[in-house]
A and B are shown apart, each in its own frame.
Chain A
Amino acid sequence: MTAVLRTHELGKRYRQRWALTDCTLDIPAGRVVGLVGRNGAGKTTLLNMAVGQLEPTTGTIEVLGGRPASGAAQLAKVGYVAQDTPTYSGLSVAEHLRLGARLNPAWDDTLAQDRVGRLGLDPTQRAGKLSGGQRAQLALTLGIAKRPQLLVLDEPVAALDPIARREFLQALMEAAAEQELSVLLSSHLVADLERVCDYLIVIDAARVRVAGEIEDLLASHHRLTGPRRDLDTLPADQHVVTASHTDRQTTLVIRTNSTIHDPAWTVSELDLEDLVLAYMSSQGTTDRNHSPRPSLAVQR
């Protein structure tokens, strides 16, 4: 099976600022991939390059074995629900479905009509008069009924209230399961992704910090607490993500595939949020304006 997304040293620069650098990924098909990072970390840049809205400055990107947006065939394979779920405010719900049918040869009209019916959307209603949640659902319907192999969603629930958020993600999961879709969605909230994703990419300050199956990530990361010690004395296979020291104590988040034998450490497991925060507060963030989120993980 070809990879859904494969990038090699991918980078994008806007004038002087690198929005994404040195991004190398290889994501297998059939996953629901969460892309998490702060606002402005480079998530949208990566997604826009994946759907061919943006040309890379450096490196290569391959989606389902093809160059993004290289032609109609490639466009047909990838569905996209862009940030703020844009729709034509002057067109009705029914006209949006007609748009989808006209512009996509593989359009599944039964599916689209079904979804709109189930959501209780009035087909004659103009998209401009829909609520944020309804608009997001309409955009999702367009993305799903196109029958893509990969559905990309950029912060689809950011503007939604908690109930609409849950309904949206639920609908997304159902569609992904029914159609054997690969899904790539971004969020700045780990809680959104925790429920639905099985693969995670943490991106911060224009760099990919970590990427992998969530199960593997959780299994290979540990928090170690013990008497203060020098990091150079750690075994070679223990990779330090974050470290913090007090006068007497050292707390580490490490990644390792082997078991931890040193009895001096108290080992505790991390949940997904801890893991994400550990990566976001690790190196490379000092030169940036910190978002309101404090780096909690290391100070507990």
Chain B
Amino acid sequence: MIWLTWRQFRAQALVAVGALAAFAAALAVTGPRLAHSYSTGLAGCTTLGDCSRFTQRFFADHQPLFLALSSVVLFLPALIGLFWGAPLVSRELEAGTHRLAWTQTVTRTRWLAVKLTLVGLAAMALAGLTTLAVSWWASPLDRISGGRIPRLTPPLFETRGIVPIGYAAFAFALGVTVGILLRRTVAAMAVALVAFIAVQIAVPLWVREHLMPPTHAITAVTADNIDGFELHQDSLVVSVDAPDPQGWLLSNRTIDAAGNVVASLPAEVAAACVPSPPTAQEITERKEAPGVKQQCFAAISRLGYRQDVVYQPGSRFWPLQWIETGLFGAVALALTAVCFRRIRRVS
């Protein structure tokens, strides 16, 4: 059974191994160069005393490649579900070869178990290795991207650590399950892709933040933590940075002296913070804007307005990674159970 599984999976496996090898080779060539230019640049600027300009430029220079590589990790599980998962059983059902396979001296339960185990493990290994390679390549950029893109925020969270392995297991199991239910390869590929993308959108938006109870912080609005102002007619909406720069900001609300949430600050504050209201309905004023700060923050604190910030601290990167991987692993196992139940009724 192992031989047959390997024989049928061989072509797909070789394509994947070839692609992974080419990808790893490209990373191996460019990676050390990247690390080298980072360390020499860093050494150069340290002697001058200020590295913020160097890191900013270094990151900006490599950002397109950084994002492209990260998106490889992001889309790999979908490809696995599409090309390894969906056809695994549906292809046999379409060609009628299941009647050949299931009447040899091997029960269909064992047939499925061997296939799921071998190809499933290959899927997880492929996702793990790719993530490892990309993380290794991007490590200098990850180090300096902290302030810009904390690794806890989507979509960077999905492309680092161990969650890609969980996604791969889930995408594979999803593809196989849909393939058994629909019995048509192309239809199964389409449905599995849509379902997987829906999950990949839904989890960061609505699920991940609840995996661990988020942290609340009530802070004053100061020149140090101000993120930005937004002017709506003559009232002002304010947002601040999370107390933890590596954290993942979930909500940013203004509360008044009594602790009630307010949608925006009154015109009085707006006048102090934005001295000459622009004619446009809405503008964004960045904190680089000079001059107005003192009276602005003074007005906010005099009226008792503070920011209620909800966030996941950056230290929760690994706990959240483990929880989410476990979650996807559990769903993958549940889908596998569905496969075993359904396959007994397939004819």
Contact = CB atoms under 8 A, between A and B. Distances in A.
Given A69-B107, A75-B104, A75-B105, A102 B97 contact: no
Interface stretch (A85-93, A247-255, A282-290): A85-93
Interface residues of A, number: 35
A99 B103 contact: no
B107 A82 contact: no
A106 B105 CA distance: 9
Q: Is the interface of A mostly helix, strand, loop or mixed?
A: loop
A214 interface: no
A106 B97 CA distance: 21
A86 B97 contact: yes
Most chain A beta carbons < 10 A, residue from B100, B107, B110, B345 = B100
B77 to A, nearest CB: 26
Contacts of A139: 100
Given A88-B8, A91-B7, A103-B1, A71 B95 contact: no
Nearest to B110: A72
Contacts of A53: 99, 102-103, 347
B107 A142 contact: no
B15 interface: no
A80 B98 CA distance: 12
Contacts of B95: 86, 88-89
B106 interface: yes
A95 B7 CA distance: 9
A87 B104 contact: no
Nearest to A99: B4
Interface string B17-43: 000000000000000000000000000
Contact of A104 (B8, B96, B105): B105
B99 A54 contact: no
Contact of B104 (A54, A90, A91, A100): A100
Given A55-B345, A103-B105, A146-B105, A88 B100 contact: yes
A146 B4 CA distance: 16
A95 to B, nearest CB: 7
A265 B36 CA distance: 108
Contacts of A91: 7
A80 B110 CA distance: 19
Interface string B303-347: 000000000000000000000000000000000000000001101
A102 B97 CA distance: 16
A227 interface: no
Contacts of B206: none
B345 A75 contact: no
B107 A87 contact: no
A102 B99 contact: no
B193 to A, nearest CB: 24
A170 to B, nearest CB: 23
A203 to B, nearest CB: 18
A211 B85 CA distance: 46
A51 interface: yes
Contacts of B99: 53, 80, 82-83, 86
A48 B347 contact: yes
Contacts of B8: 88, 90
B100 A102 contact: no
Interface in B224-261: none
A71 B107 contact: yes
Nearest to A51: B103
Contacts of A78: 103
Given A84-B96, A86-B96, A103-B4, A72 B106 contact: yes
Nearest to B102: A53
A53 B97 CA distance: 12
A51 B110 CA distance: 17
Nearest to A14: B347
A126 interface: no
A59 to B, nearest CB: 17
Nearest to A49: B347
A102 B345 contact: no
Nearest to B345: A55
Contacts of B103: 51-53, 69, 75, 78-80, 82
Contacts of B101: 103
A103 B3 CA distance: 9
B105 A72 contact: yes
Most chain B beta carbons < 10 A, residue from A79, A102, A104 = A102
Given A72-B105, A83-B96, A139-B100, 20 more contacts: A48-B347, A53-B102, A53-B347, A54-B347, A55-B345, A69-B107, A75-B107, A82-B100, A82-B103, A86-B99, A87-B97, A88-B95, A88-B100, A90-B8, A103-B101, A103-B105, A104-B104, A104-B105, A142-B100, A146-B105
Interface of A: 48, 51-55, 69, 71-72, 75-76, 78-80, 82-84, 86-91, 95, 98-100, 102-106, 139, 142, 146
6 contacts: A52-B103, A75-B105, A82-B100, A100-B104, A102-B4, A103-B1
